[in-house]
Structure formats: structure tokens, C-alpha cells
Amino acid sequence: MTLLQDRAATARSAPGRPSYWTMRRRDHLTGYLFITPALVGAVAFVFLPLVLVVWYSLHEWNVLADTFDFVGSENYRKLAEDPNVPGVLRATALFSIGLVVLNLGLALVLAVLLNQKLRGTTFFRVLFFSPVVVSLLAWTIVWGFLLQDNGGVNGLLSLFGIDGPNWLRSGGTAMVSVVVVQVFKNVGLNMVLFLAALQGVPQELYEAARTDGAGRWTVFRRITLPLISPTILLTSIITVVGSLQVFAQISVLTQGGPGTSTTVLVYYLYQQAFQFHAFGYGSTLSVLLFLIVLALTVLQWQMRKRWVFHES
Amino acid sequence: MRRTLAAISVCALLGSLTACGGDEPEAGGPVTLRMTTWSANPAHVELFNSIAAEYSKTKPDVSVTFEALPLENYTTTVTTQIAGGNAPDIAWILEGAAPDFVASGALTPLDDSIENTADLAPAATALWKKDGKLMGYPFSTSPFGVFVNNDLLKQAGQTLPAGADWTWANAVAAASATAAKTGKQGLVIRDFDYKEWSNLATVFRGWGADAWTADGKTCGFDQQPMVDAMTFLHKAIFTDKALPAPGVAADFFAGESAMTIAQISRASLLKEAKFGWTLVPLPAGPSGEYSVIGQGGLGVMKKGKNAAAAAEFVKFFTSPDNSTKLAQFFPPPRQSQLNADTLAKANPLLKPEQLQDVVIDGIATGVVKPSHTGSAEISQAVRSALDPMWKPDADIPGVLRGVCTAIQPLLAK
């Protein structure tokens, strides 16, 4: 029975008295039923863990000793006094800034280059996008081998008489290496998003600008950039949030070293919770991570009015 | 309530990492025990399965599964399983994590579950006791020795120093010369990789150095013996090029280095070796001859679902008969079995004198690798603080003072 027939039947069954199941209510019910599976997933895997993590952060939870004691704000006081936290936040900021600037910059340059009507662009599009579909761990492990002191990268450099550094073991290059490995992994995704945006810019605007005598750079700055700014906003939010969640790359390539130079926040909270068995303090660190992600996303969302074309 | 919440949330967060849930045991019904291990070696698994199959003959209701977890995340994975309400019934425990497991009360005492406990070597059980009770059974008490690739040494025109000449200085000289002549690596401290520093105990014990005092309260890294040992090691790495530099991978068992420091249980990797090899004790250091032991214990988890059945299986698994079988891979803690005859039957790859020199004498005189409560956090702090040492122009005493600054507050906890 179709929905309309169903409604008609319901209406006929109660002449004179309005049914509880009005069309509006039925529509609402149908809508809720449709989103129920996703909602159950979100509650079980997002909201409940989020609430529980805040709850755990108020406790000292030692899994081995099976103790779970309420300690109030003790973990937050520990967080404020933890001598490792400033270094961890610095490493996190360095990674995020490096990744966002390099990733978005390179993705935009590649998208502009591959948006030209030249032979071979399809090949290069596939080439730059292919790392996106490679397993993250496999990608990282292979780069781990390449970046060893006697690995492929230094082997290549030695062909040109260059004595390459020990990429993953020296403080100066470890962070750069991790960032670059991650940029190469994901730059293809942002490139494709930028390409789609570039192809959505109406050609007549370019023609009009050129007729008015605008040069290439002016056209790019005054026409292209404003019109793809919604995509820049989207990719920057995705990349910033993604950069704050980096884990596998650090775990495989550097384990947070040398020293603590690549110990980013997620890796530090993993160490605290799962290696040092301090689940309470680990939860406190995840609350901090949540607040940072929230603050940055709100900030970017607010700033969109200033620089995103369709929002002003 | 809390456990349920904990289980739900950890399952939710780590659903892909841990197998949450599982069946509650039925009173009197069939029981499946789960033992976590860090060995997926087919020969080991085959032996464990055969012991379990034999056990099932007398206890048809009990079956045992062995879950091999990756060594590098072993303790983390077991802890996560416990947090998720899915504790294994029996778990192997690494010596580094032993103080945490033993002191926390996570394990069931095993005194009644081990046959003839008087036979266990006191040096082997020291780490596994709490208030006089045996909390874990050190099924593997495996001394470190030096495996030598005779072919590579010969190719480089080197002879292996023997007797009183088998010292660290001579060992490094031979390794350095072999590396220079053959283009392979000299001496590899297996599994150290400039991260797992506790394996350096196989070197610094030769100088009488300790990571911390016996009571675990005071850092030993800034003491003179440690400074001397690390200065020697640093020179061996960066000046003599006797050890692979940081970030350089080399596997002795694939013929890529002249020597390696490893536990004797690694001998099984040489079954099909295409080169001539020998096994000798650790070289003597300035403070004389010494030995270092790596241990693996097994314990019955209090939070496992079948603790009583697990304790019974442990009794069978560790019985003198099965201990003899396990001895082919894991040197047993039973003194009655620590003789060249018993060990030779189980270790056909090793010669009786090698077993006597490295295994039997090693276990009698050896010290276990450094361990401490909160060892994961301390290990991490040491690793980070030691990192500045692994470059050619390092300020060695300064770095070692930095290690003590980093770990002293943790040791004092």
C-alpha cells in the first residue's frame, strides 16, 4: 500500500475526529526512522564515548590493579603541570601548520597545473591521486624503509654526491619527514577537490576579466581564488582536523622521537592511556584534544564570512 | 555498572583492535581457555597445541587456544583486552612488565599450580614473587649470548678471540675489522635499534653498570661505570663502526652481520643457516665476566573468566615433563633440567659446551634485564633522554645526567 493510500484510509477511518497521525507527524516519523540506524551508530560510537571520556577524565583508572577512583579535577591539575605538555603541543602545532600549509599549497598548485588542457594531464592526475587509495600503514612502512640512513632516499641523494641526513633520527629532519610523508599521502584528495572547484568556475568570468585587460595573476587572485574559496574552507577544515589526529605515521616512523620532537598530542595520549596504563589521564588529554579541534573548527567557521566568497 | 560502561566504551573505541564480548562460562559446561603469547613461530605454536591436545584427553571439556600478539605492542594489547572486559585466561608477561603485573594484584598466585616449586632456580623466580608467593612462572629464562658468523670473520681474515682474550675491546676490534673488510655490519645488538635500550644491559653490565639501584629508587645512568660503558659503546658505533649506525637495519640471521647479541632461543632461526656459526658467552668487560638474562613469564589473570580452570592447565603446561619439551625453545627455570644432557636433547643445534657456557652458567650467574614498576613510562623517558647520545659529537656524561633528571621522579614514585 502506498503512503497516500495509507493516509486516505486513516483519514476515512475516523470521520469528524482529527487523527493523531497527521500527515506532518507521519512525515516526521518516517524521517526519524530513516535516520535511526545512523543515529544509533552516532550515539554508540561518538556521543557515548565522548561523555564517558569526560567521566573517565575525572577518575584515576588503573586497569591492572582494577582500581577506578574518583579524583575530581586532579587529572586536569596534572595536565596543567605536566612538563611534557608544552613540548607535545608545540610538536602538534608544528605538524599541523606544516601539513596544512604544504598540503593545501601543493594541492592548489597541482590542481591549477593539471587543470590545463594539455596532453598527459590524466596520467598525472592518477599519479598524484593514487597514494590516497593506498593503505596508510603500507605507505608509512615503505617510507620508513626509504628514509632509513642507508635507505632509498639517501641512496638517491648519494648518486648526486649528496650525503643525506638520518631523516627519522635527527631532531631537525624527523618532523619534516613525517609531514612530507603525510602530505604525499593525502595531497591527491585535496587536489581532486580543487580540480572540481576550478572546473566549476564559469569560463565567461575569465573571458570578461581578460577582455578588461587582467593579467594571469590578477585573474587567479580576483576570479579563481574567490570562486574556489568554499572548497579552500572545506579542505582546510578537513586537513586541520586530520592533522590533529595523526597517529599511525608517528607510531611507525618515529615513535615520538628523537627525544620527544615528534610526540604529537594523539600519540602522547596513546602512550599515557595504553602504554602507561593511565586511562584517566589519557582521557583528560583526549578532552584537551577535543576542545582544540572544536575551537579550531569554530574559528574557521566564523572566519569563513570574511574570506569565503558565497558567505559574505 | 562501571565495568559494563568501561567494556562498552572500550569496545566501541577499539572495536577493530580487540575482540570484545565473548561467551560467559557455563557452570560445568565446556571451557575454552585463551592464552596470549608473543610467538607466532610455527614450531612454538605446534608444540603448544600438542600440549593442549594432550591436556584435552584427560579434560575433554577444556580446550585451549593460543593467541599470538605482536611483540612490540604485546603488553599494550593485553592491557587493552583487560580494560575491555576481555582479559585472557593466561597471559605471557615480558620481564619489563613483570613488576607491574606482579605488584598490581592482576594475577592469581601460582604456588599450588606449579609442581615441585622447590626445583625452580631462585634467580629465575625473583622477579615473579610478591610477599613470598609465586605470581608468575618464568617459563623462559634465556641468557644472552653472542652468535658469530664464522664465514664472515674468515673472509675478513679475523679469528674469534677466545678464552681470556674474549673481551669487549677484542670483540669490537674483530667486528670493526670484519665490517670494514666485508661491507657487512659488525656487531648487532638484536632488537635494540636505538630504541629498546634495556637490551644495552648486555653491554653495560660488563662495566658493572646498572640502570638503577637494586631497590629501584636511585638512577644509575650518571654513575661512572655507566659513563665508561656508554663512552665505549659510543666509540664502537661512531668511531670504530663496529655496530650499525642509527637507522641502519641488519639481520645477523640473514647473514648481514658478523656477530649479534641475542637470546639463545634465537638459535632456532639458524636451522637452515647458509653460513657457519658459533655461539659464545657475552665478552668480558672491565669488571670481569657476566651474564644477562631475558625472561618471559606466564600468569593466570584474576579477571579471566575461567581462573580456576586456567590454573589447572598451567599446572599441566609447566609440569616437569612439559617443561622438558618447552626447553627446546625456552630454557626452563627448573634446576633439575638445567644440565647439558637435558638441554642437549632439546637443543640439537647447540653443542654441549655452548649450552654449559652460555645457558647453564649464564642462568646461574645472570642478572635479569632492567625492570621496574611503571616500566613503560620509565622506558619511554630513558629512550627519549638517550636519543641525543646517538650522534657522533654527543656529550655523553651530559646526556646520561639528562637521563637521570628525566627518570628520577618516576623511580621515586
Quick one: closest CA in A to B99, which residue? A64
CATH number at residue A178: 1.10.3720.10
With an 8 Å Cβ cutoff, is B130 touching chain A?
no
Other CB atoms within 10 A of residue A290 CB: 14
Question: Hey, is the C-beta of B106 within 8 angstroms of any chain A C-beta?
Answer: yes
Strand partners, B140: B296
Q: How many CB atoms lie within 10 A of CB A158?
A: 12
Contact (CB<8Å) A44/B12 = yes
Q: How far apart are CA B198 and CA B215, in angstroms?
A: 17
Number of A/B CB contacts below 8 angstroms equals: 89
Is residue A69 situated within a structural domain? no
Question: Of chain A residues 203-232, which have a CB less than 8 A from chain B?
Answer: none
**Quick check: B113 and B312 in contact, CB under 8 A?**
yes
Please check whether residue B152 is in contact with residue B253, taking contact to mean a CB–CB distance below 8 angstroms.
no
ipTM over 0.85: no
Burial string for B118-136 (b: 16+ CB within 10 Å, else e) reads: ebbbebbbebbebeeebbb
Q: What is the DSSP letter of B370?
A: P
Judgement on whether residues A122 and A232 belong to the same structural domain of the protein: yes
Q: How many domains does chain A have?
A: 2
Whether the bond between A258 and the residue before it is cis, its omega within 30 degrees of 0, is yes
Report the C-alpha gap between B262 and B293 in whole angstroms: 10
Provide CB contacts within 8 A for A205, sequence distance 6+.
A223, A227
Those of residues 66-95 in A touching chain B at CB distance below 8 A are 66, 68
Residue A96's contacts (CB-CB under 8 Å, 6 or more residues apart) are A240, A243, A244
A62: in domain: no
Contact between chains at B387 and A259 (C-beta distance less than 8 A): yes
What is the per-residue pLDDT for B11?
Answer: 44
Residues on chain A touching B106 (C-beta within 8 angstroms): 64-66
Instruction: With beta carbons under 8 A apart, name residues in chain A contacting B380.
Output: 256, 271, 275-276
Q: Give the pLDDT confidence of A193-225 residue by residue, as tens digits.
A: 999 999 999 999 999 998 999 888 999 999 999
A27, A125: one domain: no
pLDDT score for B27: 54
A257/B383 Cβ within 8 A: yes
Q: Examine residue A196 and state whether it is found in any structural domain, yes or no.
A: yes
Distance, in angstroms, between B303 CA and closest chain A CA?
Answer: 9
Given this chain, do its domains B2-142+294-368 and B146-292+370-411 carry the same CATH topology?
yes
- Please measure the distance between the N-terminal and C-terminal CA atoms of chain A and give it in whole angstroms: 48
> Using the beta-carbon criterion (under 8 Å), do A275 and B377 form an inter-chain contact?
yes
Residue A213, domain extent: 84-311
Instruction: Give a yes or no: residue A146 inside a domain.
Output: yes
Q: What is the pTM of this model?
A: 0.82
Positions in chain B whose pLDDT score sits under 70: 1-28, 346
Query: How far A277 CA sits from the closest chain B CA (Å)?
Result: 8
pLDDT at residue B13 in the model:
44
A213 & A274 share domain: yes
Listed in order, strand segments (DSSP E) in B272-315 are: 277-280, 292-301
Same domain, A162 and A42: no
The minimal CB distance from B79 to the residues A166, A169, A277 is found for A277
Please answer yes or no on whether B246 and A166 come within 8 Å at the CB atom: yes
* Long-range contacts (CB closer than 8 Å, 24 or more residues apart) made by A233-238: A233/A300, A233/A304, A233/A308, A234/A193, A235/A104, A235/A107, A235/A190, A235/A193, A235/A194, A236/A100, A236/A104, A236/A300, A237/A297, A237/A300, A237/A301, A238/A190
Question: C-alpha cell of B210?
Answer: 646498572
Instruction: Check if A260 contacts B (Cβ < 8 Å).
Output: yes
How confident is the model at residue B22, as a pLDDT? 42
Establish if A197 belongs to a structural domain: yes
- In chain A, whose CA is at the least distance from the CA of B301? A64
**What is the topology classification, in CATH, of domain B146-292+370-411?**
D-Maltodextrin-Binding Protein; domain 2 (3.40.190)
Closest Cβ–Cβ partner in B83, B247, B384 for A166: B247
Fold of B2-142+294-368: D-Maltodextrin-Binding Protein; domain 2 (3.40.190)
Ordered by start, the domain boundaries in chain B are: 2-142+294-368, 146-292+370-411
Task: Convert the pLDDT of each residue in A240-274 to its tens digit.
Answer: 989 998 999 999 999 898 888 999 999 999 999 88
| Distances B261 to A172, A304, B109 between C-alpha atoms, Å | 31, 60, 34
Measure A279 CA to nearest chain B CA, in Å: 9
Helix (H) or strand (E) holding B105: none
Residues of chain A where predicted confidence (pLDDT) is lower than 50: 1-2, 11, 14, 312
Is B249 in contact with A64 (Cβ distance < 8 A)? no
With an 8 Å Cβ cutoff, is A62 touching chain B?
yes
Interface contact flag, B104 A44, Cβ < 8 Å: no
Task: Note the pLDDT of residue B264.
Answer: 81
Hey, of A63, A163, A177, which one would you mutate to test binding to chain B, going by the most B CBs within 10 A of its CB?
Answer: A63
> Looking at the domain assignment, is residue A68 inside a domain?
no
**Dist. CA B328–CA B332, nearest whole Å:** 9
Same domain, A44 and A102: no
pLDDT in tens, B28-45: 679 999 999 998 888 889
Residue A64 has its nearest CB partner, among B5, B106, B194, at B106
Residue A51 shares a structural domain with residue A134: no
B80, B194, B390 ranked by CB distance to A274: nearest: B80
Q: Do B390 and A52 touch (CB under 8 A)?
A: no
Return the CA Rg of chain A: 26
Q: Which residue of A has its CA nearest to B377?
A: A276
**B79 vs A63, A148, A168: nearest CB:** A63
For residue B394, the surrounding DSSP H or E stretch is none
Decide if A77 is inside a domain.
no
Q: Taking CB atoms and an 8 Å limit, are B83 and A63 in contact across chains?
A: yes
Residue A78, in any domain of the structure: no
Same domain as A258, residue A122: yes
- Please report the pLDDT score of residue B286 as a whole number: 96
Q: Cα distance from B128 to chain A (closest Cα, Å)?
A: 16
CA–CA min distance A51, chain B (Å): 10
Record the cell numbers describing residue A173, joined without a space: 629532519
